[in-house]
């Protein structure tokens, strides 16, 4: 089906409509003075970045990063065997497993966070990294399993059988056959898991009110000082974009 120039222009226009508005975050972050009605800032500078780093944002960045990395790693370890069983359709009645995986995606994270707080208060887990990781795990684990299960199937099993027939030990088989075969999907699952934890607002607020997380720290600045908010937004975006780049690299699989 031949495409007209009009159709091609429409595609580009749509892409621009979704991509371009985000540029304003960069401009706002480095605009020390930007009075109406000017369309471009009068004075450029680093006031926003300096203010963003002088507060609790640096600590919040560290906490958010630590929680996101630990949660994602934990979700991958816990989720791998389950994803494998579900992906290979080894379960005769998988409905219950899928229901259990779907439920946390339907229930607001703020609700699960608030509910967990009831127990975390007794266990001294509120405002701790462990508490935040457990609360984030409720949302991250289902996403990781659901994405990862699509990696497993007859092709991977057949490759593993071949490796076994050729005398590879289980660990070698995992390292040289299974891992490369599932790597793109594994990377996608890790990326999604990281992102879900990284941008988690509701459960972080409920469980870790006393421990600053980046989204929680950022929100009040949207009204009080947009330049600081935009600087924090860029700080917020860096790991997300880096994770996306890493995923894209890992996805270039030999298979």
Partner 1 sequence: MEARGAARLRAERRRTRLALAPALGVLTLLFGGALAGAARTSFVPLGGHATLDAWRAMFDDPAFGDSVRFTLQVTVLSTLSSCALALVVALAVRRRSLAVRAFLSLPVPVPHLLVALTAVLWLAPGGLADRALGGLPLTLVRDDLGLGVVLVYVYKETPFLVLLLLAAMGEALATREEAAAVLGAGPAQRLRWVVWPAVRTPLVVGAIVVAAFVLGAFEVPLTVGPSYPPTLAEFALQATQGDLLAGEGVAAATLLLTAAASTALAVLAVRLAKDVSGG
Span 72-91, contacts to partner 1 by CB under 8 A: 77-79, 81-86, 90-91
* Binding segment toward partner 1, per CB under 8 A, in 54-62, 94-102, 157-165, 169-177: 94-102
Q: Under the criterion CB under 8 A, does residue 100 sit at the interface with partner 1?
A: yes
Task: Give the one residue of 43, 46, 66, 103 binding partner 1; rule: CB under 8 A.
Answer: 103
| Per-residue CA distances from 62 to 48, 67, 69, 182, 235 (Å) | 19, 9, 11, 30, 11
Region 50-69 residues binding partner 1, contact defined as CB under 8 A: none
- If one asks whether residue 28 binds partner 1 (CB under 8 A), the answer comes out as yes
Please say which residue, 142 or 212, places its beta carbon nearer to partner 1: 142
* Contact present, 206 and 114 (Cβ < 8 Å): yes
Give the one residue of 71, 125, 198, 211 binding partner 1; rule: CB under 8 A: 198
Chain centroid, CA 214 distance in Å? 14
Closer to partner 1 at the Cβ: 5 or 166?
Answer: 5
Sequence-separated (6 or more) residues with CB below 8 Å from residue 236: 198, 199, 214, 215, 218
φ and ψ of 96, to 5 deg: -65, -45
Measured from the CB of residue 50, what is the shortest distance to partner 1 in angstroms?
19
Rg (the chain; Cα; Å) = 22
* Burial 47-69, CB ≥16 within 10 A → b, else e: bbbebbeeeebeebbebbeebbb
24 binds partner 1 (CB under 8 A): yes
CB 236 within 8 A of CB 218: yes
Please list every residue from 207 through 226 that binds partner 1, using CB under 8 A: 215, 218-219, 222, 226
By CB under 8 A, residue 6 contacts partner 1: no
Segment contacting partner 1 by CB under 8 A, of 48-56, 153-161, 163-171, 199-207: 199-207
């Amino acid at each position: 089906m031949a495409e007209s120039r009009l159709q091609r222009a429409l595609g580009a226009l749509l892409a621009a409509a979704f991509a371009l508005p985000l540029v304003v975050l960069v401009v706002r972050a480095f605009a020390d003075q930007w009075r109406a009605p000017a369309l471009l800032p009068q004075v450029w500078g680093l006031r926003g970045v300096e203010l963003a780093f002088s507060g609790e944002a640096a600590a919040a960045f560290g906490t958010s990063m630590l929680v996101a990395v630990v949660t994602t790693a934990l979700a991958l370890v816990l989720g791998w065997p389950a994803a494998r069983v579900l992906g290979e359709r080894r379960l005769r009645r998988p409905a219950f497993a899928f229901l259990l995986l779907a439920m946390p995606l339907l229930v607001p994270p703020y609700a699960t966070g608030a509910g967990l707080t009831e127990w975390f208060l007794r266990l001294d887990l509120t405002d701790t990294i462990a508490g935040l990781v457990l609360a984030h795990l409720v949302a991250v684990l289902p996403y990781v399993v659901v994405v990862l299960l699509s990696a497993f199937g007859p092709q991977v099993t057949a490759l593993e059988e071949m490796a076994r027939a050729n005398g590879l030990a289980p660990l070698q088989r995992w390292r040289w056959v299974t891992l490369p075969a599932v790597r793109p999907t594994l990377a996608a699952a890790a990326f999604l898991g990281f992102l879900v934890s990284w941008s988690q607002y509701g459960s972080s607020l409920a469980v870790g009110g006393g421990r600053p997380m980046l989204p929680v720290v950022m929100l009040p600045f949207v009204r009080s000082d947009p330049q600081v908010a935009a600087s924090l937004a860029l700080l917020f975006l860096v790991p997300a974009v880096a994770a996306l780049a890493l995923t894209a690299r890992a996805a270039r699989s030999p298979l």
